[in-house]
Structure 1
Amino acid sequence: MDVAIIGLGLHPFGRSPEFTGQQQGANAIRAALADAGLTWKDMQFAYGGSQDAGNADALVNELGLTGLQFTNIWNGCATGGSSLHAAYTAIKSGEYDIGCVVGFDKHSRGAFNPKPADWGLDDWYGETGMMLTTQFFALKTQRYLHDHGISEDAIVRVAEKAFFNGSITPTAWRRQALSYDEIANSTMVSDPLRKYMFCSPAEGGAALILCNAKLAKRFTSKPLYLKAAAVRTRHYGSFEVFSPSQAMTVADAPTVTASKAAFELAGIGPEDIDVMQLQDTDSGTEIIHMAENGFCEHGEQEKLLREGATRIDGRLPVNTDGGCLANGEPVGASGLRQVYEVCVQLRNEAGERQVPNNPQVGYTHVYGAPGLSGVNIISR
């Protein structure tokens, strides 16, 4: 049984002091329902999540007490991908025909401040500074650049592209393009990553309406099809967020296994993807994920970036809305923002940032602590 996406909704990312996080999630759901021409009473189920803005199932207080099944999902930065996977399997199982997925968040300013004990770690790990993810991602990027002969030019180009794309995205938080030199000369935070190479905790909401594909044409003339949804955790030997050590034997990252599973489900390969969203917690992460998702070989990224391959008009358009770097990361909503953007691109409704040549197939990838990835493949 195929699954269709028939409604899209987004509350702008950034800072919305006039709205609670839950209200931003509710706003996104209302927009998605309107897009599908449906009401909250039509929903048979909902899945959703938030890290800091309250229980997702409390959205029924905003939207209506209809008695539907509403399940909270929490899976770190992969919350959105995990929520979508849950909805995908609920419809494929035949239990439900139509439902909603939502993610939202409202984070305080400043860096996230996780506690080691909450992640099964002893205090020493936090005392070394590794609970601060800027430190972890910088070390991972530093090693990756060294091992694959990639210069810092590549991480500057990722950020330059992100802020340009954000500048032409009406719902993005960071809407000012930055020059190569502004990024390359910005303050060093954790070597080799500089001030403009990180995403920031943010606010926002995103929602989708899904249904049994056999019913999709009842609601919209432009349904999209969720051909694959896969979520995978890490194997022993993969070095991920909050890993306390590096094993002697190196294993594939969860992104590799999630990507392979999704391509197998969809019956296609990386060469068939026309537009993609890859987790870009920082510039280095996007570079790593280009290869881990199968879109290039390790070490090829710098050449691709210099050629402009990952720009909107390139052959591998990545993060056309600016990704996490330009939108910030409200944890619960981030993965669904990715899907929203790919769907807008496949509908040819992206305006100034529209990928040319009538894209047919899109790809989203979200990565979260303590080492799990979610991948979705969507087609027209």
Structure 2
Amino acid sequence: MRDVYIIGAFSTAFGKKPETGFKALTREAYTGLLADAGLETGAGIETGWFSNCGMGSWGQRNIRGQVCFTPLVRDGLFPERVPMVNVEGGCASAMMALSGAFKDVASGEVELSMAMGVEKTFVPGDAERTKEIFEGGIDQMDPDEWRQYYAAAGETANKPFEYGPDRTVFMDTYAMQACYHMAKWGTTQHQIAIAASKNHWHGSLNPKAQYRFEVSPDEVLADRPVSFPLTRSMCAPIGDGAAGVLVCSKDYLDGQPAHIRDRAIRIAGLAMSGGKYRDLDEPGLSSVAAKKAYARAGLSPADIDLVELHDATSFCELYQLEMLGFCEPGTSGRFIEAGETRLGGRLPVNTSGGLVSKGHPVGATGLSMVSELATQLRHEAGDRQVADAKIALAENGGGVVGFDEAACAVAILARADA
């Protein structure tokens, strides 16, 4: 396997963009990606991986990447005859696309590959279409299986499972896990609120975040309840956006000008795992992906300087800190309460604002995490810069199988001098 480097990373601003279509979002992200890599066109790109979840709800159920890139091919910005692979894995789709591009380069098949994620989840006046996009992330062929599973687990978690048209099963299952964690370990709702408040502060420093305002822990707790212990400020919003990454081989990188080589970021390790129906107290799939990624990178949690993780709810931040090996089970609430995950803390987490503040256009989310980490490792993050950042980790999960995500990816990124 060859070393693989990121030479371009870009994310659009995330937000509700009803007037901006999929092709326009694709063009904005792709041209931004070329500019970041110092390229006028993508003439050297040999493969493309396109991530999207919901375009079928807008009428484009197949060949999504090909449709979005046709205008760019016509304009001479994207090369002709390049194979485009369409990827869908729920909220983990974007990192699945990165995994495909990474493997293309690492295997020696190509020298330069692209991963692009594009998503629209905000549909003004049509909540049912938005709901349809997200409902694809859980088994619709045999829904009785998960309803019975959650009903039984609700007794263990001391939070009955409720199902109905005015609820979201995803937030309810996160809430059940949070209640179980609180009962078993003494985690508090206030600690979850601190995680949410911290990410809203980080998001206020990120010009591309969907929400750019601060929220105190008390304000988080006073916000509209979603599913106890979760309030609206603890949950990721719907929105639109796109993000992309260009990855290349060492040979390709060596042929680039010094200012491109100096900004290159090495993908030290990248691994994926799959979900299953598990017990509430059984480690989740992200712990499996993380162990593989650490082993492939030859690193440990102690080597990581900052993290972007998948906080679809703010409880997820507590949970994933434990699954990724940064905290012992049951200690993440106190870790966050002590300020360790804030800018200036021992392990800054979600300097972008995370999903709860930066936003969560599902098919683009994982690549936006990588873009944030590349910015940090290049020391170009401005007011939210992590001092002396050299090694970073991204965790991106998506879909639901019981209390697991259906898929998870963990990537470890490193400066060339790390």
TM range (shorter): over 0.9
Report the CA distance between 1:5 and its aligned residue. 0.2
**Per the alignment, in what secondary structure is the counterpart of residue 41 of structure 1?**
coil
The verdict on how the C-alpha distance between 1:280 and 1:116 changes in structure 2, with shifts beyond 3 A counting, is closer
Cα distance in 1 for partners of 2:98, 2:30 equals: 14
The 8 Å contact of residues 117 and 363 in structure 2, kept in 1 or not, is answered as yes
Contact 1:76/1:368 (8 A) holds in 2: yes
- SS of the residue corresponding to residue 13 of structure 2 reads strand
- For residues 109-258 of structure 1, the aligned pairs below 5 Å read 109=123, 112-113=131-132, 114=135, 118-122=139-143, 128-129=163-164, 132-219=169-256, 220=260, 221-237=262-278, 251-258=282-289
The letter for the 2-side match of 1:225 is R
- Whole-angstrom CA distance in 1 between matches of 2:138 and 2:178: 25
CA 125–252 in structure 1, closer or farther in 2 if over 3 Å, else same: closer
Alignment of 1:47-58 (within 5 A): 47-53=49-55, 54=60, 55-58=64-67
Deviations 1:19-65 (A, max 9, x none): 21232122111111111122122211110111123512322212115
- In structure 1, what is the equivalent of residue 159 of structure 2? none
Is 1:96 matched up with 2:110? yes
1:50-89 equivalent positions in 2, closer than 5 A:
50-53=52-55, 54=60, 55-64=64-73, 66-89=80-103
**Aligned residue in 2 for 1:10:** 11
C-alpha change, 1:184 and 1:331, in structure 2 (3 Å) is: same
> TM-score by structure 1 length?
0.92
CA RMSD of aligned residues (A): 1.9
Question: Which stretch shifts more, 274-283 or 302-311?
Answer: 302-311
Structure 1 residue 200: Cα displacement: 1.3
Matched residue SS, 2:14: strand
* Cα distance in 1 for residues equivalent to 2:66 and 2:343: 37
> For the residues of structure 2 that align with 1:116 and 1:274, how far apart are their CA atoms?
32
Shift of 1:216: 1.4
Aligned length: 369
> Map of 1:266-281 to 2, 5 A cutoff?
266-281=297-312
Structure 1's 222 and 134: CA in aligned 2 closer, same or farther, altered over 3 A?
same
CA distance in 2, matches of 1:117, 1:347: 37
Match of 1:282 in 2: 313
Deviating more after overlay: 315-324 vs 101-110? 101-110
1:312 positional shift = 1.2
The answer (yes or no) to whether the contact 1:279–1:323 under 8 Å persists in 2 is yes
Amino acid at match of 1:61: T
What are the ranges of 5 or more consecutive residues in structure 2 without an aligned counterpart?
75-79, 148-161
State the Cα distance separating 1:116 from its structure 2 match. 8.8
- Segment of structure 1 superposing worse, 360-369 or 16-25: 16-25
* Stretches (4+) displaced over 3 A: 109-113, 115-120, 123-127
Q: Is the 8 A contact 2:203 2:212 kept in 1?
A: yes
**1:143-171 alpha-carbon deviations (Å, 9 max, x no partner):** 12211211111110011001111111000
Q: 1:375 aligned to 2:386?
A: no
1:118 Cα deviation after fit: 4.8
Ranges in structure 1 where 5+ consecutive residues have no aligned partner = 240-249
CA distance change for structure 1 residues 146 and 21 in 2, over 3 Å: closer, same or farther?
farther
1:117, distance to aligned residue in structure 2 (A) = 8.1
% identity of equivalent residues? 29
* 1:261 paired residue among 251, 268, 292: 292
1:95, 1:182 → 2: CA distance?
52
Change (3 A) 1:252 1:306: closer
Q: Is the 8 A contact 1:23 1:62 kept in 2?
A: no
Q: Which moved more, 1:42-51 or 1:32-41?
A: 32-41
Amino acid at match of 1:200: P
Q: Is the 8 A contact 2:310 2:397 kept in 1?
A: yes
Moved more, 150-159 or 38-47: 38-47
Distance 1:117 1:101, change over 3 A: closer
Structure 2: distance between partners of 1:23 and 1:42? 23
Q: CA–CA distance in 2 between the matches of 1:238 and 1:212?
A: 41
Q: Whole-Å Cα distance in 1 between the matches of residues 389 and 265 of structure 2?
A: 12
Measure how far apart 1:18 and its partner are. Answer: 3.3
In the alignment, the residues of structure 1 paired with residue 111 and residue 208 of structure 2 have an alpha-carbon distance, to the nearest angstrom, of 30
1:44 and 2:51 aligned:
no
